[in-house]
Amino acid sequence: MTSPAPSPQPRNPLHGLTLEVIVTQLAEHYGWAQLGILVPVRCFTHEPSVGSGLKFLRRTPWAREKVESLYLFMLRDQKRQHRDPV
């Protein structure tokens, strides 16, 4: 038997994104210092890099959930700022 094809997830903003893309975009948007405050884990506060972040986040589900939640918040905030120019 073959498994069914994965169903498309049009309403999931994380669908199709790699963890590397998420971490890179967060670091570009917030900077490592702010990212280390928002998600206080050592890989973001001491000699931060995308590689060390990926290694830690792949092994630590609670930290990955925090990073994904922060990414979704960032997307909502960017959309809100784009929609409502001051």
pLDDT tier for residue 8 given thresholds of 50, 70 and 90: low
Alpha helices in the chain (DSSP H): 19-30, 32-38, 42-45, 50-59, 61-83
Per-residue pLDDT reduced to its tens digit, 58-82: 999 999 999 999 999 999 998 888 8
State the helix-helix crossing angle for 50-59 and 19-30, rounded to 10 degrees.
130
Per-residue pLDDT reduced to its tens digit, 20-63: 999 999 999 999 999 999 999 999 999 999 999 999 999 999 99
Amino acid at the residue 33? A
pLDDT tier for residue 4 given thresholds of 50, 70 and 90: low
Q: What does the domain layout of the chain look like in residue ranges? A: 19-83
Q: What is the pLDDT of residue 78?
A: 87
CATH code for the part of the protein at 19-83: 1.10.720.30
DSSP state of 72: H
